[in-house]
């Protein structure tokens, strides 16, 4: 508690206090719409944020993951009071029905398109939202970078989890003076990480569905493939694939890729590159590889993005003490740790006064003596 009144004037009370951070008040019943690509972490971590903040919550699990759904439905029902925490499974019809209800808070991890649907539904009830969306995330590699290191980390970031992570590098844009060397190091990195036969490597993830494989395969220009490029839709498999050189106008650059494809572009002038990236929708993540602190500072200060890293990819996701969230089309709000608690609660400011204390100068008649006493208090 902080003392609000410090004047020695007898006309001004000394004992009214304020609650410094307000009372943290839960919003209420929270709907959490979960994606397929993080079947545990992107369902339970938002649930932890909601429950720790005092909000009962309902998980809408992805229908694309029947085994995962069966397990979560069983465990949640076993260990939680259904009035505090429950889960449902379903597709578009279930989501549409759920969004028709007047929830107190909506939490979505998903695509920009679904984010717009949730925002429209939230507007009907003026419901607050937290949206974790996505976008085409750049990895900028300048001429001073440790090229083998940058290549390996960018390849891992783009291929890990089958590229199905909202913070995966969507493309690498490399200074033209080192582009050929970077491409060669990326080819080496794929072999070092996943071997000569990634399809048989248990460390290389499958794509979520046959339809997703077909969509990703349609983005590949065979003339630009410098590594990989093959797919097996029934097996939900797509090679870790590197494409170079790619122009900004290529169809693979039109939207978030969400698969193990790494297009590589080049640039010659950092200022023009930053202007180009700033003309695009704001990404959820951005990465820069450089030894030049001036260039690093310029990138970080020029670009708007949810979060990211210098000389790393994706690793910032693992740090619970840092806020995680998007900006613009990549999301609204943030969570993780206390940031999740704060996002899922309302800071209710409260002024505390004993029942026998009045601030007389607020009440008429308004005399010169009252004005002088008030001025004395504020001048203290």
Catalytic residues: 132, 166
Asked whether 35 and 109 are in contact (CB, 8 A), the reply is: yes
Rounded distance between C-alpha atoms, residue 178 and residue 141, angstroms:
9
Phi and psi at 225, nearest 5°, equal -75, 125
- Separation CA 364–CA 66 (nearest Å): 69
Bridge partners of 237? 232
Beta-carbon count within 10 A of 275 CB? 11
With residue 263 as reference, give the H or E element that holds it: strand 261-267
Token pair listed for 207: 């794509």
From the list 324, 329, 286, 276, the residue with the least C-alpha distance to 308 is: 286
Count of C-beta atoms within a 10 Å radius of residue 293:
10
Written as one string, the DSSP assignment of 19-61 is -TT-EEEE---EEEE--SSSTTHHHHHHHHHHHHTT--EEEEE
Q: Angle 198-204-206 (CA atoms, 0-180°, nearest 5)?
A: 105
The percent helix, strand, coil of the chain (3-state, each to 5) is: 40, 20, 40
Q: For residues 167 and 208, give the distance between their C-alpha atoms in angstroms, rounded to a whole number.
A: 17
Q: Residue 19 phi/psi, 5° resolution?
A: -85, 115
Tell me the H-state helices in 4-53: 41-52
| Angle value at C-alpha 245, between 230 and 256, nearest 5 degrees | 65
> Residue for token digits 């003076």?
177
C-alpha to C-alpha distances, 305 to 41, 137, 138, 318, 368, nearest whole angstrom? 22, 9, 10, 18, 54
> From CA 264, how far away is CA 170, in angstroms rounded?
9
């Amino acid at each position: 508690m902080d003392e609000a009144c410090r004047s020695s004037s007898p006309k001004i009370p000394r004992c009214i206090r304020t609650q410094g951070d307000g009372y943290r008040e839960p919003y209420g019943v929270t709907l959490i719409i979960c994606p397929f690509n993080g079947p545990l972490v992107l369902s339970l971590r938002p649930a932890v944020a909601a429950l720790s903040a005092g909000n009962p919550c309902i998980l809408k699990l992805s229908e694309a993951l029947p085994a995962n759904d069966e397990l979560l439905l069983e465990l949640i029902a076993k260990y939680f009071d259904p009035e505090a925490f429950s889960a449902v499974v379903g597709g578009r019809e279930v989501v549409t029905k759920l969004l028709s209800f007047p929830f107190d808070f909506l939490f979505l991890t998903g695509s920009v398109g679904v984010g717009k649907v949730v925002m429209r539904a939230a507007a009907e009830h003026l419901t607050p939202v937290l949206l974790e969306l996505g976008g085409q995330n750049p990895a900028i590699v300048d001429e001073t970078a440790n090229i083998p290191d940058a290549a390996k980390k960018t390849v891992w970031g783009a291929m890990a989890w089958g590229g199905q992570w909202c913070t995966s590098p969507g493309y690498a844009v490399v200074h033209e003076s080192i582009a050929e060397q970077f491409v060669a190091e990326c080819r080496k990195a794929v072999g070092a990480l996943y071997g000569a036969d990634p399809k048989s490597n248990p460390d290389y993830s499958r794509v979520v569905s046959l339809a997703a494989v077909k969509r990703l395969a349609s983005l590949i220009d065979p003339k630009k493939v410098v590594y990989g490029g093959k797919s097996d839709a029934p097996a939900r498999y797509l090679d870790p694939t590197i494409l170079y050189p790619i122009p900004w106008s290529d169809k693979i650059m039109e939207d978030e890729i969400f698969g193990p494809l790494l297009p590589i572009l080049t640039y010659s002038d950092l200022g023009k590159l930053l202007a180009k990236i700033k003309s695009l929708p704001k990404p959820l993540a951005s990465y820069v590889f450089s030894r030049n602190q001036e260039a690093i500072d310029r990138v970080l200060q020029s670009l708007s993005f949810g979060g990211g890293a210098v000389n790393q990819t994706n690793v910032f996701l693992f740090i619970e003490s840092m806020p995680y969230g998007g900006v613009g089309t990549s999301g609204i709000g943030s969570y993780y740790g206390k940031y999740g608690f704060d996002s899922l609660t309302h800071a209710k400011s409260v002024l505390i006064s004993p029942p026998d204390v009045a601030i007389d100068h607020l009440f008429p008649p308004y005399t010169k003596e009252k004005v002088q006493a008030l001025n004395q208090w504020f001048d203290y």
